[in-house]
Chains A and B, each alone.
Chain A
């Protein structure tokens, strides 16, 4: 009850400033959330594009990334870029291991079997992480790598944390776009996602490309985890479920399999969610997020930028 009254007071505080700047402020908060979702959604969309699998464990890779960042920052006192790199590399290794052990043997099995396996991996990561000698079941406060300060631009406040989230996310997204579009391995990834068998005939090592995709996707999720931890400074072993599911919704919204689509979808999701909690009800925001999912699936299952697949008998 207490938090509900606090929220109302907070809103009134912003309304005193002006409704317009309140809106812009929420837009910035929404974009912050959206960029974190984008980093997760890219992993979903790339993996789905290549192996047609909804990698449910992806949200938990994100959680593990947040914990890696936590240990790098809090225990080893690494500077932020190194901590980010540590989390990304750790998650990449984790993602490749999951693919190798759990998904590769099921590559030709029915899609549902692979999906249930992915759920099993997800539950395993959650409960294994909550064991006492791993990460522990408790909530942890995330260390901030530097003091928080806010800058006033016009009537809108923007914190250095938000600038950091925007900056890192945009750099990583540009890097990803470069890898996929301009490098040889990116061309191989596109070829495998277009047609696995033909790609194999052209001499592409399909297994390696799939592992590489899982690695890149998981590294992005790891970076997302660190940024999420810094922006919303509290982590626990089950934190990956909701952002993971919402990032998946974002990937579906943008058109699953499409990288720019995942970015657009994630930004829309972040903004819609923040606006919903600002103007309608913060407890109802999950319901709105998933209503979007169901509506998109029913009206335009291919999403905003997705390609239509023909049904073969």
Chain B
């Protein structure tokens, strides 16, 4: 009797330890970065890069959900990123008297619009398999980019190919960090939920998943819509960080950038995506200050080479299947869920 109680107590101790550690890490990173910013150690350029890294991470987490966990190859991620950015920017620009409240309205509208578009695009397109799906989403991405280019014919406020100016700057470091943490928590809980398991089963083998009764269309669409909403939220933050939008920020190459991050970080690994996204941004953007321009041209040559070599050596990416301890579910959490399902 006493023995059993002791085991239970030690297990409970372990859970709270894990949650405590992750909580401490989150707060420490936040305080450290805020201290660095307010002490003037980081100039505005670096602050912007840090925020951009977090934004790219949110977007990449979304693609990891679509491709890494659900196994649906998408090359149109930048389209949803762009839709989120443009729709929210239009709202904050029109409601500029409302202050921060307009940002919240813009965010909610962007999430709804991106979700609806992803649903209507995803439902028919997700019937396609592997590379055909990639090509179809790529086509969708290019169509959306062309529509952005010509958007000023319908809504002059969107600016079309001249770009959209004068978006209020709402994105500050605490806000970006908050969304970054929310994104990680949401995706972690999504992946280890029943829905997430169904998505992973589709990735492993969609025919087998279909045979054991997983509604593949439903879960593919859920994964796709959720992942696209992540991209949309990242787009909202992006628009209010740089206060300028141009259709070329959302073209085909930008989708590939996010794909590269997800692949480099490892398919189906949250920690891998976070590390890869932050490292990628600092290597690409940060090195701009440090390196002379001759070497700078080479970074975009070396980058695809690294991708090819990783694909040849480890086709699932470097960090695939690896995860930080605090992002994994606890043992008894899993067993409880399994019992419930049985």
Task: Please report A residues at the B interface, Cβ cutoff 8 Å.
Answer: 54, 102, 105-106, 109-113, 115-117, 119-124, 127-128, 130-132, 241, 245, 248-249, 252, 281, 283-284, 286-287, 290-291, 293-294, 297-298, 301, 311, 313
Closest to B134 in A: A115
A252 touches B135 (CB 8 A): yes
B129-175 residues at the A interface, CB under 8 angstroms: 130-132, 134-136, 138-140, 142-143, 146-147, 149-150, 161
Chain B interface residue bracket vs A: 35 or more
* Chain B positions within 8 Å of A106 at CB level: 311-312, 315
Contact yes or no, A283 B135, CB < 8 A: no
A281: chain B residues at CB < 8 Å are 150
Q: How many A-B residue pairs have CB under 8 A?
A: 115
For the complex, give the distance between the alpha carbons of A311 and B130 in Å. Answer: 13
- A252–B131 CA distance with the chains assembled, in angstroms: 12
Chain B interface residues toward A at CB < 8 A: 73, 124-125, 127-128, 130-132, 134-136, 138-140, 142-143, 146-147, 149-150, 161, 207, 252, 256, 259, 263, 294, 297-298, 300-301, 303-305, 307-308, 311-312, 315
Known: A110-B315, A116-B263, A283-B146. A124 touches B139 (CB 8 A): no
Are B131 and A111 interface neighbours, CB within 8 A?
A: yes
Which interface residue of B259, B294, B315 has the most chain A CB atoms within 10 A? B315
Give CA–CA (A298, B126) in the complex, Å: 10
- B304: chain A residues at CB < 8 Å are 119-124, 127
Flag if A284 contacts B146 (CB, 8 Å).
yes
A122 / chain B contacts, CB cutoff of 8 Å: 304
Q: Is the CB of A131 within 8 A of B301?
A: yes
Q: Would B73 and A131 count as touching, CB distance under 8 A? A: no
CB distance from B254 to the nearest CB of A (A): 12
Rounded to whole Å, the gap between the CB of A53 and the closest CB of chain B is 8
Task: Name which residue of chain B comes closest to A290, CB basis.
Answer: B139
CB distance from B136 to the nearest CB of A (A): 5
CB nearest neighbor in A for B138: A245
Contact A127 B300 (CB under 8 A): yes
With A120-B308, A294-B139 known to touch, is A128 a contact of B125 (CB < 8 Å)? no
Per the bound structure, the CA–CA distance linking A283 and B161 in Å amounts to 10
Q: A106-B312, A283-B161 are in contact. List 8 more A-B contacts (CB 8 A).
A: A117-B308, A120-B304, A120-B311, A124-B301, A124-B304, A132-B294, A298-B128, A301-B132
> Contacts A131-B297, A284-B150 given: A123-B303 contact, CB under 8 Å?
yes
Question: Could you tell me the distance in whole angstroms from the C-beta of B67 to the nearest C-beta in chain A?
Answer: 8
A294 cross-chain contacts in B, Cβ below 8 A = 125, 136, 139-140, 143
B315 / chain A contacts, CB cutoff of 8 Å: 106, 109-110, 113
Q: List 23 A-B contacts (CB under 8 A).
A: A54-B135, A102-B308, A106-B311, A112-B131, A115-B131, A115-B134, A117-B307, A120-B311, A123-B300, A127-B300, A127-B304, A241-B252, A252-B135, A283-B150, A287-B146, A290-B138, A290-B139, A291-B139, A291-B143, A293-B135, A294-B125, A297-B135, A301-B132
Is A298's CB under 8 angstroms from B125's CB?
Answer: yes
* Contact A293 to B139, CB < 8 A, known contacts A123-B303, A124-B308: yes
C-alpha gap A284/B136 in the complex (Å): 18
Q: With contacts A106-B312, A115-B131, A115-B134 known, is A283 near B297, CB below 8 A?
A: no
CB A249 to nearest CB in B, in angstroms, measures 7
Known: A283-B150, A294-B139. A301 touches B305 (CB 8 A): no
Contacts of B146 in A (CB 8 A): 283-284, 286-287
